[in-house]
Structure 1
């Protein structure tokens, strides 16, 4: 049944040219197949032992994390799906349906229709990078009591994998900055309920802590970079642009709730890029996908040309709650408007930066 569900989703991808499918009945794909209780995941000797190299287990980490933190997400808004964590399962679903979790070396059938469709390859750069924004926050949340008091967790690890941490203590030793920042976020989340700050400032402060943790995890995932050698030059360029775009999103304290994150993820390329793919004229990709790739490309090019100062200028411009609100609006215009003018972007950004 599960295999048939995934094949139906993949068929939908093909029928829509190559647009990524990230939602099923308004929720991340295969959400209904994931664990809604800790006890639905493997437990050995009273230790919770999920397998993050199984798609459903990794997606379950997100479902459990969202459920555990939702009671504390009041500052995010009154909607049912306002948590910034929603962006992460949507990303993971996009990686699955776009073929980015399969073994890029082709030496195994991991993730392929001919093998285990729920397998996340340890050779996938995308799967490896996502490990740091799924396993690390889950381990931190459990350590901070959000999964219940004293719940020990250890991630299963495939044979031969030695460079990824599997427990809170292990991750804290290997990636102390990322784990420390996730701890700070979860502690801040718990403390926010009694904070006297106005709701908009409380929300902005929590999103700031959230994105600090997210970016620390992203920097920690540099250990995955050797896996980029498995991909084409266009895919590597896109991967680098994807990572760089997080700097803009983080500085603007983007609220990656279910609705907003969906808008930004749906236009992403629905297949792995191959040699010869040059946006905005990639055959087989939709206008929206081509536009998304082209936008990532010119933003990256401007930043490179300016020696990295575009990112710094953006961060400088995000100097207040109001400025960050304007920054989020500008990001939406840039990423979702076809053929958005780069000169317009630079003009607006320069004005914002000089007004700080």
Structure 2
């Protein structure tokens, strides 16, 4: 059913307001310096399956240890590198970089530790490498770490490995997670299938010719980004209702930030935004570098940078704008992103938020034009 034109104005206004807040309070020039930040303890992370324990013909990975969970990401980056040669030099263009870099930020900012303080898991005074099952962030990330890895297993990336691969369960909340490909097809069949499909598609990308990076992406590469974002969003959608109770262990501002960040990912996903090494590092400086406390209120949190403060405000605007329009804001954005041209303009706009504020308003006008042009476009899995 088509939207009446007056209703369309509300999503557009909320989205434009969020962008204006970001671009008017950010020094974009400094943000575009090429980042060289690898995840914490990257050199200590296992880089092959041989780095994990194998017993009784099973290689067992402990996803409740930071080094081992991060090891899954490092291995995925390694085994997919040959399919990513045209995406960027030295594997920096790998489409999977966003996942380990996000996990490293979670670890660095204490978001993987037990927020209830009932245990010392993740605390410097206890086991700093421990990942808590009480942490909302760690449980959400499980679905963006273990599920992609097992999807790659099922897609045949480790067929030469002579042992079965399995995850070790936590001591608590065992039923909230899956531990091998069979379990995951039972617990979250749709999400597991989407990650497997992504890795199967990736095997066909070896011959993709070199194309320009942002804002233009070849149709073949765009299809790769489309499928990884479909799988990524599916993981978030599967995990959100399952772990909502974990939000009670963290402060209200932190819970709001987590939920609004999860919602914002859907906007980024619709543009098929490349989460390669450099782009992820550039945009990750906007995320708060510590857990938010009960008294924190952006944009006036004194020990957070201006970028972090205003990013929190913008995320709230996007979340609340989408909520009050009953999902209309996201529908507006997805419809604008429904064509290759729209996604190109969307990526360009997202990049200009930090790199060239003078181009924000012209970019907004282009997004509105693309929305109008794509008005009758289907936005299912766009």
* Shared fold per TM-score greater than 0.5: yes
Q: Which residue of 1 aligns with 2:172?
A: 160
2:265 to 237, 242, 246: 246
**Residues 1:180 and 2:202 aligned together:** no
Q: Which residue of 2 aligns with 1:108?
A: 119
Task: State the shift of 1:348 in Å.
Answer: 4.9
Task: State the shift of 1:325 in Å.
Answer: 1.6
Cα distance in 2 for residues equivalent to 1:111 and 1:91: 17
Counterpart secondary structure, 1:48: strand
CA deviation digits over 1:214-256, x for unaligned, max 9? 1111111121111011111111111111000111111111110
How many residue pairs are counted as aligned between the two chains? 333
Q: Which residue of 1 aligns with 2:50?
A: 39
Counterpart secondary structure, 2:259: helix
Q: Which residue of 1 aligns with 2:343?
A: 324
Alpha carbons 1:55, 1:118 under 8 Å: kept: yes
Q: Which residue of 2 aligns with 1:12?
A: none
Q: Which residue of 2 aligns with 1:268?
A: 287
Q: Structure 1 57/253 Cα, relative in aligned 2: closer, same or farther at 3 Å?
A: same
Q: Structure 1 344/233 Cα, relative in aligned 2: closer, same or farther at 3 Å?
A: farther
Cα distance in 1 for residues equivalent to 2:85 and 2:314: 34
Task: State the shift of 1:140 in Å.
Answer: 1.2
Alpha carbons 1:267, 1:292 under 8 Å: kept: yes
Q: Which residue of 1 aligns with 2:222?
A: 204
Structure 1 residue runs without a partner (length 5+): 1-22
Alpha carbons 2:299, 2:310 under 8 Å: kept: yes
Greater shift, 277-286 or 112-121, is seen at 277-286
Counterpart secondary structure, 2:171: coil
Q: Which residue of 2 aligns with 1:87?
A: 98
Cα distance in 1 for residues equivalent to 2:309 and 2:205: 41
Q: Which has the higher contact order (CA 8 A, sep 6+)?
A: 2
For residues 1-356 of structure 1, the aligned pairs below 5 Å read: 26-149=37-160, 151-162=163-174, 163-193=176-206, 200-222=218-240, 223-334=242-353, 348-356=366-374
Task: State the shift of 1:197 in Å.
Answer: 12
Cα distance in 2 for residues equivalent to 1:241 and 1:78: 33
Task: Tell me the TM-score normalised to structure 2 length.
Answer: 0.81
Alpha carbons 2:345, 2:367 under 8 Å: kept: no
Cα distance in 2 for residues equivalent to 1:49 and 1:171: 16
Cα distance in 1 for residues equivalent to 2:208 and 2:275: 23
Task: State the shift of 1:267 in Å.
Answer: 1.8
Structure 2 residue runs without a partner (length 5+): 1-33, 212-216, 375-382
Cα distance in 2 for residues equivalent to 1:205 and 1:305: 32
Greater shift, 247-256 or 144-153, is seen at 144-153
Alpha carbons 2:84, 2:91 under 8 Å: kept: no
Task: State the shift of 1:80 in Å.
Answer: 2.7
Question: RMSD value over aligned CA atoms?
Answer: 2.5
Q: Structure 1 345/229 Cα, relative in aligned 2: closer, same or farther at 3 Å?
A: farther
Cα distance in 1 for residues equivalent to 2:129 and 2:49: 19
Alpha carbons 1:295, 1:334 under 8 Å: kept: no
CA deviation digits over 1:265-316, x for unaligned, max 9? 1221011111121111112111111121111112222222322101011111
Runs of 4+ in structure 1 displaced over 4 angstroms? 194-199, 335-338, 343-348
Task: Tell me the TM-score normalised to structure 1 length.
Answer: 0.87
Task: State the shift of 1:333 in Å.
Answer: 3.3
